[in-house]
Structure 1
Amino acid sequence: MQASIRHDWTRQEVAEIYHLPLMELMYKASTIHREYQQTGEVQVCTLLSVKTGGCKEDCSYCSQSARYNTHVEPHKLMTTESVVNKAKQAKENGSTRFCMGAAWREARSNKDFERVLDMVGQINEMGLEVCATLGMLDEEQAEALKEAGLYAYNHNLDTSREYYEQVITTRTFDDRLETIKNVQKAKISVCSGGIIGLGETDEDRIGMLTTLACLPTHPESVPVNALVPVEGTPMEGNKMVSTWEMIRMIATARIIMPQAMVRLSAGRTEMSTEAQALCFMAGANSIFAGDQLLTTPNPEEDVDMIMFKTLGLSPRASFKEEAKTKLEKDAVIY
Structure 2
Amino acid sequence: MTDKTVLRNDWTREEIEAIYHLPLLELVYKAATVHREWNDPEEIQISTLLSIKTGGCPEDCSYCGQAARYHTNIKVQALLPTEQVLEHARKAKEGGSSRFCMAAAWREVRNNRDFDRVIDMVKGVNELGMEVCCTLGMLSEEQAERLQEAGLYAYNHNLDTSEQYYEEIISTRTFDHRINTINNVRKAGITVCSGGIIGLGETHRDRISMLLTLATMPKHPESVPINALARVAGTPLQDNEKTDTWEMVRMIATARIIMPSSMVRLSAGRMEMSGFEQGWCFMAGANSIFTGERETLLVTPNPGISEDLQLLQTLGLKPMGRAEVSCEL
If the length of structure 1 is used for normalisation, what is the TM-score? 0.96
2:170 corresponds in structure 1 to: 168
1:304 equivalenced with 2:308 (yes/no): yes
Equivalent positions of 1:54-203 (< 5 A) are 54-203=56-205
| Aligned-partner Cα distance in 2 for 1:154–1:26 | 27
Find the aligned partners of 2:197 and 2:153 in 1 and give their Cα distance: 23
Which runs of at least 4 in structure 1 moved beyond 6 Å after TM superposition?
none
Partners of 1:39 and 1:320 in 2: CA distance:
17
List aligned pairs for 1:192-231, cutoff 5 A.
192-231=194-233
Q: Deviations over 1:260-287 (max 9, x none)?
A: 0000000001111111111100000000
Q: SS of 2:22's equivalent?
A: coil
1:295 to 289, 299, 320: 299
Overall identity of the aligned pairs, in %? 63
Cα distance in 1 for residues equivalent to 2:134 and 2:223? 13
1:321 is aligned to 2:325: yes
The residue identity in structure 2 corresponding to 1:215 is M
1:149: how far off?
A: 0.5
Deviations 1:30-89 (A, max 9, x none): 000000111110110000000000000000000000010001111110000110000001
Rounded to whole Å, the distance in 1 between the matches of 2:229 and 2:323 is 30
Q: CA deviation at 1:253?
A: 0.2
- Unpaired runs of 5+ in structure 1? 326-334
C-alpha separation between the residues in 2 aligned to 1:259 and 1:61? 29
1:35 maps to which residue? 37
The separation in 2 between residues aligned to 1:266 and 1:220, in whole angstroms, is: 18
CA distance in 2, matches of 1:251, 1:222: 12
Distance 1:102 1:170 in 2: 17
Output the CA distance in 2 between the equivalents of 1:2 and 1:288: 28
Q: Which deviations, in whole Å up to 9, do the C-alpha atoms of 1:174-194 show, x marking residues without a partner?
A: 000000000011110100000
Q: Which residue of 2 aligns with 1:277?
A: 279
CA distance in 2, matches of 1:211, 1:321: 23
Cα distance, 1:4 vs structure 2: 1.1
Give the aligned CA root-mean-square deviation in angstroms. Answer: 1.1
Q: C-alpha distance in 1, partners of 2:262/2:62?
A: 28
Distance 1:161 1:321 in 2: 30
1:167 corresponds to which letter in structure 2? Answer: I
**What is the aligned partner in structure 1 of residue 256 from structure 2?**
254
User: Scaled by the length of structure 2, what TM-score is found?
Assistant: 0.97
Q: Quick one: distance in 1 between partners of 2:128 and 2:185?
A: 23
Q: What are structure 2's unaligned runs of at least 5 residues?
A: none
Aligned to 1:330: none
Query: Aligned partners of 2:128 and 2:159: how far apart in 1?
Result: 30
- The residue type equivalent to 2:76 in the other structure is P
Structure 2 counterpart of 1:223, one-letter code:
P
Shift of 1:319: 3.0
Shift of 1:322: 4.7
Shift of 1:321: 2.8
Whole-angstrom CA distance in 2 between matches of 1:245 and 1:56? 31
**Aligned partner of residue 320 in structure 1, secondary structure:** coil
2:306 partner amino acid: D
